[in-house]
Amino acid sequence: MAQLSPALKQATPVLAQRGEGVYLYDEAGRRHLDFTAGIGVTGTGHCHPRVVEAAQRQVGTLIHGQYTTVMHRPLLDLTERLGEVLPEGVDSLFYMNSGSEAVEASVRLARHVTGRPNIVVFHGGFHGRTMGAAALTTAGTKFRAGIGPLMPGAVVAPFPQAYRYGWSEEEATRFALRELDYVLATTGPVQDTAAFLVEPVLGEGGYIPAPDAFLQGVRERADRHGILLIVDEVQTGFGRTGRFWGHDHAGIVPDVVITAKGLASGFPLSAIAAPAALMEQAWPGSQGGTYGGNAVACAAALATLDVIQDERLVENSAEMGARLHEGLRKVAADHPEVGDVRGLGLMQASEFTAPDGEPDAGTAQRAHRAATELGLLLLTCGAAGNVVRMIPPLIVDGAQIDEALTLWSEAVTSAC
Ligand code: PMP
């Protein structure tokens, strides 16, 4: 009898049978408040009627219009629509299926355009599990250990992790930018560097927003040295942080935007966007794949954009995110085990710290488990697994935020 590989590690024991809005229902009919959103994917909630309708219609029309063979209308329409939400001029798109694939596509593009091999990544970043993306991932050894040799050309610079260093954001930013200059002057020469690759909020690495001044400083260095700035918006894009893109907070314009997760409400779809002048330098045929830009996924993405716009989900993300943040701070105020609460929009986290300042994964894991038992689904993150994150769907309302906070308070109390 066949069985699922034990290589799959799950955050909860829930056997999901059906999803509706912010709730998942298991096979026993129990309701779970889903503050994981499938790792930040179902921004429009589970099975949003408009997404369901668009996907069902497309399934009956054309499922697989293989894009290196034929073109299809949903792909053309989605490209036009994404042009409306992408930064001006960053409007030439290519599609894949997953975040990792899109990260690798952006590396291919950057290497083609610049003729340089190196990609500078920032310590704690997560960019995926495929072999190229894993080489660029420094969020934990579990993503890298035992699978080498990894792709050469990844150069690591510090990310301004203010809480970890025990510094202010200004001090951490100054340090990280100075060290970036030092890396370029020592281990990763400018003339060998194709791109900087950065998450606007460190995701798997611990939910640490990049200070605006940091992203601005990286942009300035990219301009100065002729290095491309690739922003990995796989987790932060599509309204997650309370702006459409995570980099919007810093007011910068990237050279390449990577998007996935929230793009298609759960259908596998990812994309890279760059100015046409850059894309034109990629070798024709250098990007592609069997399933990229699937017609059903594109139809779902179009409906996702409609829902985000019509239901003002970016604004809701900012408002509900602020409410969640404030509530998490109140819980933390009663529990010294929670050393830090941080996040942007509906990407919020609580970091557990022991009295000696070391990461407290034990309490974090207990709180996470207690929340699951209470019917609140959450995820952990951070290299030590001591950060509990909340990523609810962008459709979440105030009552649901308050319900989650009540359950969270109970979970933390029982864990501490
Ligand atoms: N980049 C970021 C910032 C991510 O959060 C993730 C997934 N958690 C990835 C890339 C990889 O995406 P995927 O799992 O779809 O390959």
Find out whether the beta carbon of 233 lies less than 6 Å from any atom of ligand 1.
no
Listed residue (246, 201, 205, 243) closest to 351, CA to CA: 205
Find out whether the beta carbon of 235 lies less than 6 Å from any atom of ligand 1.
yes
What gap in Å lies between CA 120 and CA 154, rounded to an integer? 6
- pLDDT at residue 283 greater than cutoff 90: no
Q: Which atom of ligand 1 has the smallest separation from the CA of 199?
A: 3
Residue whose CB lies within 8 A of the most ligand 1 atoms, among 8, 104, 119, 127, for a mutation test:
127
DSSP string covering 212-265: HHHHHHHHHHHHHHT-EEEEE-TTTTTTTTSSSSGGGGGT---SEEEE-GGGGB
DSSP string covering 58-74: HHTT-S---TTT---HH
Residue whose CB lies within 8 A of the most ligand 1 atoms, among 100, 137, 240, for a mutation test:
100
- The pLDDT, as a whole number, for residue 404 is 98
Q: Which atom of ligand 1 has the smallest separation from the CA of 101?
A: 16
Strands across the sheet containing 193-198: 92-96, 270-274, 256-259, 228-232, 193-198, 118-122, 154-157
What gap in Å lies between CA 260 and CA 61, rounded to an integer? 24
Name the architecture of domain 16-34+338-415.
Answer: Alpha-Beta Complex (3.90)
Distances (CA, A) of 58 to 8, 94, 288, 299: 32, 21, 22, 7
The model's pLDDT over 4-14, given as tens digits with 9 standing for 90+, comes to 999 999 999 99
- The pLDDT, as a whole number, for residue 69 is 97
Find out whether the beta carbon of 204 lies less than 6 Å from any atom of ligand 1.
yes
Residue whose CB lies within 8 A of the most ligand 1 atoms, among 39, 201, 261, 387, for a mutation test:
261
Return the bridge partners of 121, or none.
156, 197
- The pLDDT, as a whole number, for residue 204 is 97
Q: Which whole number is the average pLDDT over 255-275? A: 98
Rounded distance from Cα 410 to ligand 1 centre (Å) = 31
- The pLDDT, as a whole number, for residue 130 is 97
What gap in Å lies between CA 225 and CA 229, rounded to an integer? 11
CATH of domain 52-310: 3.40.640.10
What gap in Å lies between CA 396 and CA 406, rounded to an integer? 15
Rounded distance from Cα 232 to ligand 1 centre (Å) = 9
Rounded distance from Cα 99 to ligand 1 centre (Å) = 5
24 neighbors 16 (Cβ within 8 angstroms): yes
The model's pLDDT over 338-359, given as tens digits with 9 standing for 90+, comes to 999 999 999 999 999 999 999 9
The model's pLDDT over 72-108, given as tens digits with 9 standing for 90+, comes to 999 999 999 999 999 999 999 999 999 999 999 999 9
**CA atoms lying within 13 Å on the CB side of residue 389:** 27
Residue whose CB lies within 8 A of the most ligand 1 atoms, among 126, 137, 138, for a mutation test:
126
What gap in Å lies between CA 98 and CA 291, rounded to an integer? 10
- The pLDDT, as a whole number, for residue 65 is 98
Q: Which whole number is the average pLDDT over 290-310? A: 98
Token pair, residue 155, equals 């150069």
3-state secondary structure string, 290-319? CCCCCHHHHHHHHHHHHHHHHCCHHHHHHH
- pLDDT at residue 296 greater than cutoff 90: yes
Angle, in degrees to the nearest 10, between helices 169-186 and 212-225? 20
Return the bridge partners of 232, or none.
258
The model's pLDDT over 133-171, given as tens digits with 9 standing for 90+, comes to 999 999 999 999 999 999 999 999 999 999 999 999 999
Q: Which atom of ligand 1 has the smallest separation from the CA of 261?
A: 15
Taking all residues of the chain, what is their mean pLDDT, rounded to a whole number? 98
* Domain range summary for the chain, segments of one domain joined by +: 16-34+338-415, 52-310
Find out whether the beta carbon of 39 lies less than 6 Å from any atom of ligand 1.
yes
Helices (H) and strands (E) in the chain, counts: 13, 17
The model's pLDDT over 178-224, given as tens digits with 9 standing for 90+, comes to 999 999 999 999 999 999 999 999 999 999 999 999 999 999 999 99
DSSP string covering 366-415: HHHHHHHHHTEE-EEESTTS-EEEE---TT--HHHHHHHHHHHHHHHHHH
Q: Which atom of ligand 1 has the smallest separation from the CA of 258?
A: 1
